[in-house]
Amino acid sequence: MVGPLDEYPIHQAPLPVTWPASSDRNFYDRCYFNAHDRSGEIFVITGLGYYANLGTKDAFMLVARDGKHTALHLSDLCDDDRLNQRVGGYSVEVLEPLQSIRLRVEEAEGISADLTWRGSFPVLQELPHVLRSGARVTLDAQRFAQVGTWSGHLEIDGERIEVTPDRWVGTRDRSWGIRPVGESEPAGAPADPPFDGMWWTYVPMRFEDFAVVLILQEDPSGYRTLNDCHRIHADGRVEQLGWPQVQVHYAPGGRTPTGASIGCTTPTGEQLRLEVSSLLAAPLHVGGGYGGDPDWTHGVWRGEKFAERVTYDLADDAVRGRMMFGCVDHVGRAVLHEGGREHEGWGLFEHFCIGRHDPSGFGDWFAVAP
């Protein structure tokens, strides 16, 4: 159906803008945000997505603290009013494109928020991300990322948490394309070769004078299928930082990282070393809807005006057992060593290593760090 966006010269296909050019059921259009106060005591992860070919839209807010996840889930019918992004009482308002966003949650299940994002540096258009299973495309996405600060407040069960930009930082991304969403599909013939694992590291960090955004993906043998690493300056300059060498430090007895050592190279050949540490781990597949979350999957039809609140105890054995089989976001602190100088940064350290990964010494799905 033709809508307000069709008044603008932005079409890429002979269709109304709200109709995806692809008929793939897995077409999606989503925003993701995180926020923390650098203490490692609280981590907020949230986002909103449209799934036009499934007829759904949904949003979530995950608050990690005190060893628990408090998750708010909202879902509804997809609509054509994309200029007013809203699911129930959850809304995303673009105040200044690519720079400032207001995120509001009207009180639902004891949770409310009014938060304003301000980008610290220009957004980075990341490399296209494509995955196949045999001949079929399972992921074909475009994304941009940004680091920034937050202001406003968050309220949970009457406790008001003030959010000020001198302390609260975070990262965000917007992505769209094709990725597995909604209800499970019939499997068809077994994959050949079968999926044997994947290693992923995503590190967007905010420093005072620049941002660093790193995305790496490797197959079980260590062959790198995505290599994207940049430094973004306030004046818009973007440096490519070569082919990073990464050593992830895992806690014994599992695959939860405590940090990583990352070596990069500037276009002039200068060596940079990034030491990243995790202050708080928040598995995205525990209430966040990513990567096989059994309770909340993006795009699944839940009914009109759906809302629920779920609390997870990360000390529960049933939850702990899932940690190494999905993507985990961490409150990240980084120190970048450049020549004789050190720069302190804060942001996101996202990592997962599922299945086999030969460079890490994981021979199968159940291998753990010594």
- Amino acid (one-letter) located at 334: A
If you write DSSP's letter for every residue of 33-49 in order, what string do you get?
Answer: EEEE-SSSS-EEEEEEE
If you write DSSP's letter for every residue of 311-347 in order, what string do you get?
Answer: EEETTSHHHHTTGGGS-EEEEEEEEEEETTEEEEEEE
Judged against a pLDDT cut of 90, whether residue 79 lies above it is answered with yes
Angle at 203 between CA 198 and CA 209, to 5 degrees: 165
- What Å distances lie between residue 87 and 19, 78, 114, CA to CA? 19, 9, 15
Q: What is the pLDDT of residues 55-73, one digit of tens each?
A: 999 999 999 999 999 999 9
3-state secondary structure of 6: helix
Q: Which helix (H) or strand (E) holds 272?
A: strand 271-283
For residue 346, what are its two tokens?
């804060």
Tell me the CA end-to-end span of the chain in Å, nearest whole number.
57
Given a contact cutoff of 8 angstroms between Cβ atoms, the answer to whether 260 and 254 are in contact is no
Give residue 360's pLDDT: 97
Query: Can the peptide bond before residue 193 be classed as cis, meaning omega within 30 degrees of 0?
Result: yes
Residue partners of 204: CB distance under 8 A and separation at least 6 = 145, 146, 147, 171, 211, 212, 213, 214, 347, 348
Q: Cα(68)–Cα(52) distance, rounded to whole angstroms?
A: 33
Query: Using 50, 70 and 90 to split pLDDT, how confident is the model at 1?
Result: confident
Q: Which of 91-95, 186-190, 234-238, 351-355 is least confident?
A: 186-190
For residue 313, what are its two tokens?
């105890």
For residue 228, what are its two tokens?
């994207």
Give residue 191's pLDDT: 80
**Closest among 346, 354, 343 to 330, alpha carbons compared:** 346
CATH class of 26-182+196-360: mainly beta
Residue reference for tokens 């807010």: 61
pTM of the model: 0.96
Given a contact cutoff of 8 angstroms between Cβ atoms, the answer to whether 85 and 78 are in contact is no
Q: Cα(117)–Cα(167) distance, rounded to whole angstroms?
A: 13
3-state secondary structure of 204: strand
**Closest among 240, 179, 190 to 213, alpha carbons compared:** 240
Judged against a pLDDT cut of 90, whether residue 136 lies above it is answered with no
Domain edges within the chain: 26-182+196-360
Q: What is the pLDDT of residues 38-59, one digit of tens each?
A: 999 999 999 999 999 999 999 9
For residue 35, what are its two tokens?
């926020």
Residues 311-336, mean pLDDT to the nearest whole number:
94
